[in-house]
Amino acid sequence: AASKQGRLEAQGMSVTFGGLKAVQNVSLVAEPGQVTAIIGPNGAGKSTFLNLISGFIRPTEGVVYIGGEDISKLRPWTRVRRGMARTFQALEVFGSLTVGENVALGFPAPIGSSPWRPLLQWGGYRKERELIKVETRSLLKRVGLLDRADSLASELSYGDQKLLVVARLLATKADVLMFDEPGAGLPRREINALGSLFRELAAEGKTVVLVDHNMHLIFGYADYVYVLHHGELVADGTPQEIRENEQVVRIYLTG
């Protein structure tokens, strides 16, 4: 089971900024088929932990595995090829491109692609572009944005832009999908749309990792929850267990 494809395991991750221990010896396992949540107050180290897992920050200590394979030495973009993709806390929609073009950007570049490739393999290239078009439409359909495919991304509502970012992440075909605060600023109805989408992805066998504050999203849609506070893991368990954990309640009441 340790080598199950798409299983994410982070062991003893730590990083220090100046004197600040932003993440201290945090471990996590996220299973395929599950929505795994990471919660904690502002500044708890959640985004930093995602940066460590995805390779955007180098840990002082810790190892990351996907499907049992140590990927700790790989660059972020190589991790995407190994099946790990993430969103960032700030929305990253290209406003002057269309919705469809934004999704198309998520498709992995063909390995070994060169500027001459279109000339060398014109037929294959055209076929590939056709395929990307078809797949883009199917991804847009699945997040409910197909009718907006040709609108500029900047014309979408904030909630729809979040769904667009999910579609672009799906284009990578990664097994491990990590989202930094996807629910931030969304009304309840759109939280539900997002939560249902995460459940569907998990049901298809994806490993879904969610960093969020939104208690409705976490307690309504996650299978397992990790709680960070001051860079440390203070609790982990089912949503029910976390809800009843006195230390967690105290952290959230007193900040």
Q: Please give the residue ranges that form the binding site for ligand ADP (CB under 6 A).
A: 17, 20, 22, 40, 42-48
In the three-class reduction of DSSP (H, G, I as helix; E, B as strand; rest coil), residue 4 is classed as coil
Site for Mg ion in 45-84 (CB under 5 A): 46-47
> Which of Mg ion, ligand ADP, none is residue 218 near (CB under 5 to 8 Å by kind)?
none
Alpha carbons 235 and 231: distance in angstroms, whole number: 12
> Which of ligand ADP, Mg ion, none is residue 183 near (CB under 5 to 8 Å by kind)?
none
Q: List, in sequence order, every residue forming a beta bridge with 179; answer none if it has no partner.
A: 210
What Å distances lie between residue 111 and 108, 114, 117, 149, 162, CA to CA?
Answer: 8, 9, 11, 27, 28
Q: Kind of pairing, strands 69-70 and 232-237?
A: unpaired
Nearer to Mg ion, 43 or 108 (CB): 43
> Which of ligand ADP, Mg ion, none is residue 195 near (CB under 5 to 8 Å by kind)?
none
For the record, the structure tokens of 20 come out as 């600040």
For the record, the structure tokens of 80 come out as 């995407």
For the record, the structure tokens of 147 come out as 């009718």
Amino acid at site 245:
N
Site string for Mg ion, 11-50 (x = CB under 5 A): -----------------------------------xx---
> Which of Mg ion, ligand ADP, none is residue 48 near (CB under 5 to 8 Å by kind)?
ligand ADP
> Which of Mg ion, ligand ADP, none is residue 40 near (CB under 5 to 8 Å by kind)?
ligand ADP
Nearer to ligand ADP, 53 or 163 (CB): 53
Nearer to ligand ADP, 45 or 239 (CB): 45
For the record, the structure tokens of 241 come out as 């267990």
Amino acid at site 98:
T
Interface ranges with Mg ion (CB under 5 A): 46-47
